[in-house]
Amino acid sequence: MEKQPSSRYCFLCGRQNPVGLKITWYTDRANGQVRATVTVPEHFNGYPGVVHGGIVAAILDETAGRAVLLGGDVDDSLMVTMKLEVKYRRPTPTGVPLEAVGWLIRRDERRALAAAELRLPDGTVCAEAEVLLARPREEFMRSWEPERPYWRVYED
């Protein structure tokens, strides 16, 4: 599997975010998926021992959004979320290695529909999402230019 780029301060992948999760996603071309493993610490709980639903939604959103990078053109494939629909299947535990898996349902030049699941070590799905994404406006992309040098694959 091929490691995907990360940024500096993103809450989910940012390598320099002191309160972030520092998740690393990988492209699994053979299965047409993106994958990541994350252990959410207790301080991101909603109830004791249970990951806050907003954190679950953020992980699913990012995982589905990264599925647009499966085409290989990392710089021109970036899209933003227009709609996020999450289904919480069971409580997601803190302190347990979880697998996030995402894939594309369909994509064209301007929009994409992607899906993601958050799974327990035994494969049980805790939560799933469907995400509608769109290519951002040019002014948004220009505002992101100063961060472009930090959007890269980081060594472990």
How many Å separate Cα 100 from the centre of its chain?
Answer: 8
Residue 156 inside a domain? The answer is no
Q: What is the mean pLDDT of residues 7-13?
A: 93
Confidence of residue 147 (pLDDT cuts 50, 70, 90): confident
For residue 73, what pLDDT is reported? 64
With a cut of 70, say whether residue 74 has pLDDT above it: no
E-state strands within the chain: 2-3, 25-28, 33-39, 45-47, 50-51, 80-88, 97-107, 111-119, 125-134
Span 26-44, average pLDDT: 96
Expressed as residue numbers, the domain containing 88 is 2-146
Residue 151 belongs to some domain of the structure:
no
130 in any annotated domain: yes
Q: Using pLDDT thresholds of 50, 70 and 90, give the confidence band for residue 143.
A: confident
Contact residues for 151 (Cβ-Cβ < 8 A; gap 6+): 5, 6, 7, 74, 75
- The stretch 96-117 carries a mean pLDDT of 96
CATH code of the domain containing 50: 3.10.129.10
Name residues whose C-beta falls within 8 Å of residue 130's C-beta, 6 or more positions apart in sequence: 64, 85, 105, 113, 114, 115
pTM of this prediction? 0.94
For the chain, the domain total comes to 1
